Amino acid sequence: MPFFKKTLIAATFAAVISVSAQAKITVFAASSMTNAIEEATLEFLKSHPKDQISLSFASSSKLARQIENGAPANIYISANQKWMNYLQDKDAIVKDSRIDLVSNSLVMIAPENSKVSKVDLKNPAWVKLLGNSYLAVGDPDAVPAGRYAKEALTYLKDWDAVKAKLARAQNVRVALAYVERGESPLGIVYATDAKMSKQVKIVATFPAESHAKILYPASIIKGQDNKESREFLSYLASAEGKKIFERYGFVAK
């Protein structure tokens, strides 16, 4: 199915989030926003039962390039500024619709049953905890979470020691899955990803100054602007929408 569309059905809400090409609102969002956006969509449809919303989740870079190549998204939500700037430079977004929705933090995780309970990131000896295995991260060459990870590890002077020991995932949720399954003893993900999983635990939080602020910009795509898209984006930025994001560990703007 093109554009990784995902169908949600909530009979109790008497609403359907459709993957049909006839959907009025198509949202492309970073993988790390999956749970929050799904819940926000269902809540929005309670008061907009006639609307249809299609959701697509993947890495910010992949989604941005799909939009560049003509994918019919109405709204794009990126996990960093870079890919939103990329689309803005391509004149692909409605500039006056662009907002920063929420922020996030970067953490190191281990499997819930791991003997590792805390990692001192200031002590380079933590790298030895990987043994002959790999550190799960989003691919630093393409995935925002991976870029933040590289930036933080470089700041802590650990990048050279780990760059050859990376399990490069296609998005942050895949990196999370590597650790959940015990395939990697440690991983770097967003705090929100760690919070939603019962199979991992946070063993360290990266200093805020070690990487650029993790912001999630959102905008409407040029040529796909309509009343329904404006209403949904406004809902995400509203007090009610922010409460949903905060429940998943995001920090509302």
18 annotated binding-site participant: no
Give CA separation, 110 vs 70, 135, 179, 185, in Å.
Answer: 39, 10, 6, 6
| Reported confidence tier of residue 253, pLDDT bands at 50, 70, 90 | confident
In a domain, 230, yes or no: yes
Could you report how far apart the first and last alpha carbons of the chain are, in Å?
Answer: 34
In a domain, 13, yes or no: no
94 annotated binding-site participant: no
Q: Do 166 and 85 lie in a common domain?
A: no
CA neighbor of 191 nearest in space, from 176, 211, 177:
176
What pLDDT is stored for residue 4 in this prediction?
36
pLDDT tens column, 143-199: 999 999 999 999 999 999 999 999 999 999 999 999 999 999 999 999 999 999 999
3-state SS track over 88-131:
HHCCCECHHHCEEEEEECEEEEEECCCCCCCCCCCCHHHHHHHC
CA neighbor of 148 nearest in space, from 4, 27, 32:
32
Q: Do 162 and 196 lie in a common domain?
A: yes
pLDDT tens column, 52-80: 999 999 999 999 999 999 999 999 999 99
Structural domain of residue 132, as residue ranges?
106-205
State how far the Cα of 14 lies from the Cα of 66, in Å rounded to an integer: 31
Two structure tokens written together for 188: 């770097």
CATH number at 128 reads: 3.40.190.10
Q: Do 228 and 194 lie in a common domain?
A: no
Residue type, 138: G
List residues bridging with 168 in a β-sheet.
137
Lowest-pLDDT range of 9-23, 98-112, 214-228: 9-23
Q: Do 57 and 119 lie in a common domain?
A: no
| 109 within 8 A of 189, measured Cβ to Cβ | yes
pTM tops 0.85 = no
Determine phi and psi for 84, rounding to 5 degrees: -70, -40
What pLDDT is stored for residue 172 in this prediction?
95
Q: Do 87 and 42 lie in a common domain?
A: yes
Residue with structure tokens 């898209």?
A: 229
CA neighbor of 144 nearest in space, from 213, 68, 75:
213
H or E segment at 186? strand 186-190
What pLDDT is stored for residue 21 in this prediction?
41
145 annotated binding-site participant: yes
148 annotated binding-site participant: no
32 annotated binding-site participant: yes
pLDDT tens column, 79-96: 999 999 999 999 999 999
Q: Do 30 and 98 lie in a common domain?
A: yes
